[in-house]
Copies of this chain bind each other. A is one copy, B any other.
């Protein structure tokens, strides 16, 4: 017997109406054909996944720790992984956390959801970079946040704009959300001076900072900077890290650091209600891989070398093939760069011409809060070979030139 469905049965929640499917995921569905050169996704290079090391980690996990890896676990996450996270953060971004402050999440997207679920009532203000990461916007929208975009430039969020917006709000926003390193979609990074100043401003106004750092380890030039959350006097909040970009997104293992005890406890309770806990098996596989001496370090070196070449190939191809009037960011790391076309052009329309020429990207429109700059677009450089990057950007240049006719 099949379930039947009268049309009037479901009365959806107000938040469901506020939530739109990801524009990127829709684009990926139509541009996934193998003959299309896609700069649309945010995908790591699959040929670099350490498949054999992970296979060994999976075997060892099940052989040595099978029953625990397959049983229910605690919501907070696997203790040795939380210990590793603390050592890793101290070594890389200057953040001193204890394992009791670490919550393992099913990808950083879940970290965004849990923070939003715990803090945001309908209509609450959340400040974000403009343009902002689409997954974060979705998470905040699903709790009916009032999202306010803070303008940025090629050094990330502008401090004067942030100060002005904070001064003008009747009460502090619930959250200030940032990707300080190699931001998605713009590729920009906050300077050391801005990190310090933004931390001060957030502290002065009593605004928790949600710092999202998926790309921080993927730096190809310049110097690593301490996390925004590690600035002297930074207010408490949450820092999100993940294995997705340094290991493999298909495992869905990420971590959230929240030093405030009540906030942490409420995040744990929220996670109980949404999925009990992250897979005990994948947590142990990831942890075992991370604990293998030298494995992660040499893997990240390999990622950096490959992605740095691809970034350079894309920058050079853009110089060669894009017509006068186009500008783009020159990210020091991460997966993306951001292109600004001549003001008269619409990247949404361009995508159709480009798709006909078998090249794809994400138009900038969905990343903007308020009036979108429709002449912007995001390009990913991690997922295609240098040859395909050259050819894809050549096609993109043709498509742009075609748009003027």
Mark A residues whose CB is within 8 Å of B: 1-6, 8-16, 19-22, 25, 41-44, 46-47, 49, 51-52, 54-55, 58-59, 62-63, 66-75, 94-97, 106-107, 109-110, 113, 117-121, 124, 135, 138-139, 141-143, 174, 206-208, 226, 229-237, 239, 248-252, 259-260, 262-263, 265-266, 268-270, 272-282
B117 touches A4 (CB 8 A): no
Report how far A9 CA is from B55 CA in the complex, Å: 44
Min distance, Cβ A54 to any Cβ of chain B, angstroms: 6
B70 touches A251 (CB 8 A): yes
B15 touches A117 (CB 8 A): yes
Partner of A6, one of B206, B229, B239, B275: B206
A235 touches B44 (CB 8 A): no
Partner of A279, one of B44, B120, B252, B262: B252
Min distance, Cβ A89 to any Cβ of chain B, angstroms: 11
Most buried by B among A5, A41, A118, A259: A5
B70 touches A274 (CB 8 A): no
B22 touches A71 (CB 8 A): no
Partner of A226, one of B1, B263, B273: B1
Nearest to A14 among chain B residues (CB) is B121
The 4 A-B pairs with the shortest beta carbon distances in the complex, nearest first, are A5-B236, A46-B67, A250-B280, A70-B248
Counting every copy of the chain, the complex holds 2
B119 touches A11 (CB 8 A): yes
A62 touches B54 (CB 8 A): yes
Partner of A263, one of B10, B117, B259, B277: B10
Residues in chain B near residue A58, CB distance under 8 A: 55, 58-59, 62
Residues in chain B near residue A260, CB distance under 8 A: 5, 9-10
Nearest to A98 among chain B residues (CB) is B2
B276 touches A16 (CB 8 A): no
Report how far A94 CA is from B2 CA in the complex, Å: 8
B13 touches A272 (CB 8 A): no
Residues in chain B near residue A278, CB distance under 8 A: 106, 252
Residues in chain B near residue A73, CB distance under 8 A: 250
Partner of A119, one of B10, B72, B230, B276: B10
10 contacts between A and B (CB under 8 A): A1-B234, A4-B235, A5-B260, A10-B236, A21-B268, A49-B70, A69-B250, A106-B252, A113-B275, A279-B279
Partner of A121, one of B13, B71, B229, B277: B13
A2 touches B270 (CB 8 A): no
Report how far A117 CA is from B120 CA in the complex, Å: 14
Nearest to A266 among chain B residues (CB) is B16
Residues in chain B near residue A10, CB distance under 8 A: 119, 208, 236, 260, 262-263
B62 touches A55 (CB 8 A): yes
Residues in chain B near residue A15, CB distance under 8 A: 117, 121
Residues in chain B near residue A252, CB distance under 8 A: 106, 275-279
